[in-house]
Chains A and B, each alone.
Chain A
Amino acid sequence: MLRMPEFSYVHPKTAQEAVDLMFSTENAHYVAGGTDLLPNIKNGLHEPSLLIGLGGLPKPTVTLDGGVISIDGGMKLSALASNSLVKASAPSLAEACSLIAGPQIRNMGTIAGNVMLDTRCIYFNQTEFWREALGFCLKKSGEWCHVINSPKSCVATQSSDTVPVLMAKNASLVFLGRDGERRMNIRDLFQFKGEDHLKLEKGELLVRIEVPVSAEGTESCYRKVRPRGSIDFPQLGVAIVAQIAETKIEKLVICVGAISPTPKMIKGLDAFCGETLSDEVIEKIAAIAKKQCRPQGAVAGGEKWRREMVAVEVEVGLAGLR
């Protein structure tokens, strides 16, 4: 069996305790579901001295207050997928949660874990033996990116299914740090740096996600492209939020995930406000999205095909919102 190196494990009772523990030792990691971290440790991608388990924190909840759905970071993905509040007020988030990995992983993984999911790469998420045989990459132990064949940057891919939805919905994240809580718009979280794609301070723990409830008449969807009907990470994820009044677009947001270290907010969509969501308009929007997305080869499926799928999924997604 592939084994993990030795480390210590603690499971504090409060979030603040967890954050304080993070500063108690070098090389500690938070662990919630563990479905991403543990395989990565088995692969030799981390050598933690301490894992800080978040399972002992107070029971997480979802609440609706003042037009904001407030989701505790520890909410399980399967629970969110079937949560009546989320299904009613943010159905595309419930949909994204239901499409993550397979049933067991959804029962283990948490929404915070999915948002904070490390970037992935076909050259990175492999065993130490394999990576050494290839030559270590710049995300771990090396200086070379095998995807772009260059030492310039790491293009490991943001692979969360919930992130594009939360970005499209303009969600806020509440982090707990040593100096208390900090609120951040999720659109400000990411940087184009596959080896370190989250703009965070040391030890910050994602404790809550706040999703504004969309205005009346808003439709949303999440389209996931993956080889199998289960288990797989996205090869592409398209989140759309559209406010449509009598067939006319009032507001349109599209966020595309799983193409690079950062999800892509499609620009220039305001130009379509006031237009009818006709086939021609949909085609134009799809073309714009495709033009702006350059899927990196860190994910299987072929860059060209995945780019083509940006247009297809935007089209199918938009057509479904009419």
Chain B
Amino acid sequence: MKRLINLDINGEVRSVAMKDHHTLLEVLRYELSLTGSKQGCDKGDCGACTVLIDGDPILACCSLAAANEGKKIETIEGMGNASGPSKVQRAFDVSGALQCGFCQPGTILSAEALLRDNESPSDSEIREALAGNLCRCTGYTKIIDAVKLAASGMSQHSGMLLGKAAEGFDVIGAPARKADAIEKATGEALYTDDIVLPRMLHGKILRSPHAHANIVSIDTSKALALKGVHAVMIGEELPKAYCVIPWTPDETALCTDKVRYIGDGVAAVAAVDEDTANKALKLIEVVYEVLEPVIELDSALDEGAPLVHNTDWKGRDRTSNLCKRVALDFGDVDAGYEQADARVDVQYFFEGSTHAAIEPHCAIAKWSPDQRLTLWSATQVPHYVHRAVADVLGIPQGDVRVIQPTLGGAFGGKSEPFDLEFCAAILSKKSGRPVKILYTREEVFYAHRGRHPMDMKMTLAAKSDGSLTAVESNIMIDGGAYHSFGMITAYYSGQLLTGPIDFPAYRFESKRVYTNKPSCGPKRGHGSVQPRFAFECGLDELAEKIGIDPIEIRRKNAMKSGQRTVNDQLVPSTGIIECLESVERQSDWKNRWGKMPHGKGLGVACSMYISGTAYPVYPNEMPQSAVILRGDRSGRITIFSGCSDIGQGSDGMLSAIISEETGVPLESITVVSSDTDLTPVDLGAYSSRITYMAGIAAQEAGRRLRARIVAAVAEAWEIPIERVGVTQGMVFDIQDGSKTATSQEAMQLAEAKSGTLGETGQYWTRKVGGKYRGGTIGASPAYSTTAHVAQVDVNPRTGVVKVEKVWAAHDCGRAINPIMVEGQIEGSVYMGWAEAILEEHTFHSSGLHKGPSLLDYRLPTSVETPEIIASIIETIDPGGPYGAKEAGEGPLHPIIPAIANAVFDAVGIRLRRTPFSPDRVLSALAAKLEGSDNA
């Protein structure tokens, strides 16, 4: 029975009907539409639901609404709004602290409470005060900056640009605010779960408790009979297999014949509310025939091992759990070994990890009377979801519209279709009502698609001067239950190792195998973070053997701009030398490496990453990315783009380019993105492709519009086109400075002269890549490069590795918005450091995830996250927009080997397995004392 309570929220007394067991968060979000308080972890582990009670930050997900009667409740909506944001909200905006923004309402409330008590907090007081608010994007660096700025009272800023543009530009290269920052900071931005439609039902998915079992029968009749249940579905209703890679469909919306991991979906229900849906799930009777599971990577390919998939995607019987094998050979490796004066044969193991975006996956489906499906989904690839949903449902693509609302972090974890999108669609179809499905945090862990565990053997050989002669790699990859991007993963694990350290001969073999565990997939630095760890550590081992400085061996073998890699990939630009020199100088490497007291050390590593995978996942001749511009007499330009802004700031990147090209200020540009009915196709936010590809599309569209504006102005002023200059907010006569017009006047002239202002621009797939089978995978039109130096303190008594400081230099080509680039570098370092030190996505022998919660899977807090010093290196790429390349994934790679190498410098042990947990470090130290090399 519901009862009425009165809550004092943001100074208003709100009467709300609720049940005693409802949490404050449930009431705020779903009864009062105060959706600025977010739900991230379900049970008090993440801080996204932080509100203030009588001035103190608390967790609304662990507080009963009824217990808060009579108390003063403050939510983010009470801190400020679009018209008058608070000083903390403004500071978060201008400091670039808001990436995805999902955790920020909670963080901002903690900061507000801190500043009320303490007007000028120290760094450590800020870190302590925010230590219960997990952020997955920023590495906390810019958040701490923001709190300090708020404390200083200097956060007021008008205008979008925060600083000067690069030389020769008006906007490009200028630090700029994000158009959606204040919306995010005030809690007004609508994420998928914030959307409520009339008559909307709530869906839930029944999941398998077995890692491997045949489904004998499913009886849903009792669930369907439960009052409040409107639809039930099982796998047989949607049997068409799919995969984000069209060649390898091995997954269905719900399981049809057997389940392949604990958490695999078997049935789904839609009911009036979540509680009823949960009750209905318990009434579904599934009879399983339990099979022996395949859990260990080591034995997955053993003869006689149970088969995770009985047949392949063509229906042929499988004889093993091999998902994909790639073996490629470049140059003469054996000759390279013969020429070498030294070689190391090393083995490293990289443990699995997961994205853990604070926003759980969520989808809402609704059918219109003309039988078109609209799907709102927390995805980073609306286009691939669009294709897959149409294909699996068997309806024309034109009858599906996918909308990506504001997204609360992704990192690769939302880059393919998931069961909830298909299930919401079918349940909505069956019930005739909109259906929302929101994953619990536990389900997010089962959906996974994160970092593949890899067992890596590598050989590196060099001459005594340090020049590499050959590299060989042999990698076993634990893929989990389904293919996901698996063939790409297998290729990337070998193909992306060939720069920025160059070597003349290379062969690799990588095998991705199926196991009965949640499927692995692309996590930030897909497929290449793990081999980079082995390679960069191996390189240090080789340098040690030869007796040269780790930075020297890298410099010696550094690739040059315009060079081809050993596997025949063209690298148009690389700033590896500049990156190495930057971190070498900043860390005072020459005076400190190898010379610090026992327990303290420095380590270096570098890496290269694609700036967009060259080709779409399904072959086609159409543009990979496109931009449509619409302008009119109002002086405003609207950019329509399929790009997914997942917090990285792609909307801002597009705006900056259009502003630069047309002179229309950022304040007069609107971006409409990622809605498949409204926006042109973009393939999605993956493989670090957006700045390069969509940037070029925007550049083209902007230049076309500019040409029309300039032509009209030239005609009106009766001067040649060449004399018309465009700058921020105005056009002018280059020879006669007194002759000017506003951008709006210029656009009116253009509209009058040439009609309605619309232009398009696109990025056509550039034909790059090696000329051999597989040579297009790992091919990219440009490559970023990174170098890190990490400084560690290893406690020899506890085994705790404390990373004190990280210098990260990243060559992103032209930094279109340096604040966003820094944010990507800082977030990458944080995420990689977390994989090195804390995070592991591991399983019991039954295949059960060891701890699918944000308490057991530990995301670092503001307290232990190291100081990160990001440096931007700009080697202007000949092909990128204004010379820009990627910044979102490359900067993650080096941190893990840099830490491992620093640990060697500190205490002389090689850590060969992630994470570098204290017990492993102690074991390795003990082994060293006994004279063996065992970590």
Contact = CB atoms under 8 A, between A and B. Distances in A.
Contact of A102 (B210, B858, B861): B861
B442 A122 contact: no
Contacts of A102: 47, 131-132, 861
B131 A127 contact: no
B132 A34 contact: no
A312 B796 CA distance: 11
A229 B861 contact: yes
Interface stretch (B501-509, B558-566, B618-626, B843-851): B843-851
A125 B207 CA distance: 19
B64 interface: yes
A8 B20 contact: yes
A269 B846 CA distance: 44
Contact of B26 (A1, A31, A108): A1
A122 B856 contact: yes
A301 B850 CA distance: 13
B57 A104 contact: yes
Given A3-B278, A38-B62, A227-B838, A103 B110 contact: yes
Contact of B858 (A4, A103, A228): A228
B258 to A, nearest CB: 16
B274 A3 contact: yes
A311 to B, nearest CB: 9
Given A3-B274, A228-B858, A55 B440 contact: no
A187 B799 CA distance: 32
Interface string A19-57: 000000000000101110011001100000001010100
Nearest to B71: A55
B62 A39 contact: yes
Contact of A53 (B50, B67, B128): B67
Contacts of A38: 23, 43-44, 61-64
Given A3-B275, A9-B67, A230-B863, A305 B918 contact: yes
A2 B440 contact: yes
Contact of A35 (B62, B209, B438): B62
A133 B848 contact: yes
A294 interface: no
B42 A2 contact: yes
Contacts of B438: 1
A109 B922 CA distance: 35
B19 to A, nearest CB: 6
Nearest to B846: A134
Contacts of A5: 21, 275
Interface residues of B, number: 65
B681 interface: no
A1 B63 CA distance: 14
Contacts of B919: 301-302, 304-305
A5 B853 CA distance: 20
A126 interface: yes
B64 A228 contact: no
A301 B799 CA distance: 12
B132 A104 contact: yes
B425 interface: no
Contact of A229 (B20, B39, B797, B864): B864
B433 interface: no
A145 to B, nearest CB: 15
Given A2-B43, A9-B66, A309-B798, A231 B209 contact: no
B846 A104 contact: no
B64 A51 contact: yes
Nearest to A133: B209
Interface in A1-20: 1-9, 11
Interface string B561-589: 00000000000000000000000000000
B853 A126 contact: yes
30 contacts: A5-B21, A6-B275, A8-B20, A9-B66, A11-B66, A33-B62, A34-B67, A38-B23, A38-B62, A38-B63, A42-B42, A42-B43, A43-B43, A78-B56, A102-B47, A103-B57, A103-B130, A104-B57, A105-B62, A107-B57, A126-B851, A133-B210, A133-B846, A134-B844, A134-B848, A229-B863, A230-B862, A300-B851, A302-B917, A309-B798
Given A105-B59, A127-B440, 11 more contacts: A11-B66, A34-B67, A35-B59, A104-B57, A104-B110, A133-B209, A134-B848, A228-B838, A231-B131, A231-B861, A302-B919
